[in-house]
Structure 1
Amino acid sequence: MRNTEEAEGFDGEASNTSMISGASSPYQPTTEPVHSRNVLGGIRCDFEYLKSHFGILKAVEVALALIAFICIETIMLCLPCGGVYFFEFVSCSAFVITGVLLLIFSLSLHTKVPHVNWSLTDLVNTAASTFFFFLASVVLAALNHKSGAEIAAVIFGFLVTCVYAVNTFLAVKRWRMGDGRSVAVQTSEYMRARTASRGEMEARPDLA
């Protein structure tokens, strides 16, 4: 009987000890269900941007760049092929980069990375695409103008060049009107916050 009571006592003490240690342990298992965590982080479709001038122009740019790329890909025989390869590279690059920017702006992903100047990024992309699409279209028209696919690629190349040029003009106008002031405001706010933080550090008493 004593052995049984001692064993029960040891078991009770062990269970109490485990409960106390478990309660005082800082490594407690989380009770938050996995499915309740917001993985998307508030991603939403910005229909206002898609209805704006920039959204419409960017969608047209993606569509025309894709059509130009498809036209140049249908060319089976070229002589010389330098203009064809250059136009193929430009159209594919413009389609991918502009498509990614359209996806970022339409899903408001640019708000998740506020440290990047997205307006300037869009301006650089549109300006570069205008220049390279115009150059590739001129080279393709001068060197390769025999087949129907080459003529179609040149036509769509000049069309998308015009759309990129309009987008560049509007982007420059937006940059001059708003983004210059916004950068100045952000810089002044950063300097003000930094000065305030330094003042708090100096005003904090020494613990030693």
Structure 2
Amino acid sequence: MRNNDDMDGFDGEASNTSMISGATSPYQPTTEPVLQRRGLGSIRCDTEYLKSNFGILKVFEVVLSMMAFICIETIMQCAPCGSLYFFEFVSCSAFVVTGILLLIFSLNLNSKLPQINWSLTDLVNTGVSMFFFFLASVVLAALNHRLGAEITAVVFGFLVTIVYAFNTFLAVKKWQLNSRRMNVGQSSEYTRARTESRGEVESRPEIQRLEA
């Protein structure tokens, strides 16, 4: 008969054997599918952004740009046509770019690409769109103002210019606030590093003698 010591040894060997076989088994459990499902599930509609000032302004910019583009597209005859083509290009470009940014922010996709400065990207888009919409509206109003569609396009152009101007103002304030926070964080990290290094020198008298 086996005594208790022999049984304990046998149990220990059996447990070790099971651990080794389990470690070397090709059928190991994995969490990769779960992580993939979490990554896909994290894409959701950010209702808080859509309710914010930036979200509301983005929606107005997209709608007004689209209306201006539709109005300019209904014009079949033009003389001269250069101002209409310029207004058409500006309204279409602003509609596409601002629509893409609205989609990115509303689905919270900007958090997936933290390498991009999204505040600065939004600031550049709104500033450039404001400038070119204002320029295109002025040129269209000065050269083509005979048809009702041209007048309507000019009205939408100036309206969306005002919205872009207000969005640019808010984007500048947000960018300055983020830059200020970043500078404060860097200075605090530098101060903490200096304090820790100074404390280490004070706690080690041999370093003080070398510095003296």
Which TM-score tier does this pair reach, normalised by the shorter chain? 0.7 to 0.9
How far does residue 172 in structure 1 lie from its aligned partner after superposition?
1.1
Where does structure 2 lack aligned partners over 5 or more consecutive residues? Answer: 1-21, 192-212
Structure 2 partner of 1:13: none
Where does structure 1 lack aligned partners over 5 or more consecutive residues? Answer: 1-22, 193-208
2:64 counterpart letter in structure 1: L
How far does residue 184 in structure 1 lie from its aligned partner after superposition?
2.8
Cα separation, 2, equivalents of 1:156 and 1:163 = 11
Structure 1 outlier segments of 4+, above 2 Å? 23-39, 181-192
Structure 1 partner of 2:182: 183
What is the TM-score of this pair, normalised by structure 2?
0.71
Structure 1 partner of 2:68: 68
1:46 counterpart letter in structure 2: D
Percent of counterpart pairs with the same letter? 65
- Give the 3-state SS of the residue equivalent to 1:80 in structure 2: coil
How far does residue 162 in structure 1 lie from its aligned partner after superposition?
0.4
- Give the 3-state SS of the residue equivalent to 2:40 in structure 1: coil
Q: 1:151 to 1:187 in 2, by over 3 A?
A: same
How far does residue 45 in structure 1 lie from its aligned partner after superposition?
1.1
Structure 2 partner of 1:40: 40
Q: CA RMSD in A?
A: 2.8
Cα separation, 2, equivalents of 1:120 and 1:30 = 44
What is the TM-score of this pair, normalised by structure 1?
0.72
Q: 1:75 to 1:29 in 2, by over 3 A?
A: farther
Structure 1 partner of 2:79: 79
Cα separation, 2, equivalents of 1:183 and 1:38 = 30
Considering fraction of residues, name the structure with more helix.
2
Structure 2 partner of 1:134: 134
How far does residue 28 in structure 1 lie from its aligned partner after superposition?
5.7
Total equivalences in the alignment: 172
Q: 1:191 to 1:40 in 2, by over 3 A?
A: farther
